[in-house]
């Protein structure tokens, strides 16, 4: 089955790998999904912080910065005191929500199959 099945070659900087790299950091996909599914694509720092159990301020900020750098979200500072900042999905960000949501839904759909076999999925090997 090597033939027409577009070779793809897995070049280091090919699009698919660039996409996969977005899942490399722990929180990116969750921030994205939360921002979209729970806050309509726009939310403030504190809100996100509370929507993501377990994340630290540091990681949230860092993750948001990376996402901004790649063009998934836009940061807006509201001149005020105390300061208020909100983040919103860019067009690209909205589009990237699609695959993330697919993954999310796929996970829910196959939840049982997953624990049937992958009880030790995240288990340390010892």
Query: Which residue ranges make up the site for its own copies (CB under 8 A)?
Result: 1-2, 5-24, 26, 29-30, 34, 37-40, 52-54, 65, 69-71, 92, 95-96, 98-99, 102-104, 106-108, 110-111, 113-114, 117-118, 120-123, 125
Residues 6 or more apart whose CB falls under 8 angstroms from that of 51 comprise 34, 38, 39, 43
- Among 22, 25, 41, 104, the residue binding DNA under the rule CB under 7 A is 25
Sign of CA dihedral 104, 109, 114, 115: positive
- Among 15, 24, 113, 121, the residue binding DNA under the rule CB under 7 A is 24
Q: Is 119 helix (H, G, I), strand (E, B) or coil?
A: helix
Interactions with DNA, residue window 79-98 (CB under 7 A): 82-85
Q: What is the secondary structure of 73-101 as a DSSP string?
A: EEEEEE--SS-EEEEEE-HHHHHHHHHHH
Q: How many residues bind DNA (CB under 7 A)?
A: 24
Phi and psi angles of residue 68, each rounded to the nearest 5 degrees, phi first: -70, -40
Please, what is the minimum distance in Å from the beta carbon of residue 65 to DNA?
A: 7
Nearer to DNA, 79 or 113 (CB): 79
Nearer to DNA, 22 or 114 (CB): 22
How far the first Cα of the chain sits from its last, in Å, is 37
49 binds DNA (CB under 7 A): yes
Nearer to DNA, 4 or 83 (CB): 83
DSSP structure class, residue 27: S
């Amino acid at each position: 089955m090597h033939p027409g099945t577009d070779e793809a070659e897995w070049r280091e900087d090919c699009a698919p790998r660039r996409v996969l790299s977005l899942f490399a950091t722990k929180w990116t996909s969750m921030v994205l999904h939360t921002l979209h599914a729970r806050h309509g694509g726009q939310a403030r720092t504190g809100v996100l912080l509370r929507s993501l159990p377990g994340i630290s301020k540091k990681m949230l900020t860092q993750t948001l910065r990376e996402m901004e750098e790649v063009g998934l979200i836009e940061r807006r500072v509201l001149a005020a005191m105390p300061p208020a900042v909100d983040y919103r999905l860019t067009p690209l960000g909205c589009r990237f929500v699609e695959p993330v949501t697919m993954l999310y839904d796929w996970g829910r759909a196959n939840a049982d199959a997953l624990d049937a076999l992958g009880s030790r999925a995240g288990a340390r090997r010892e």
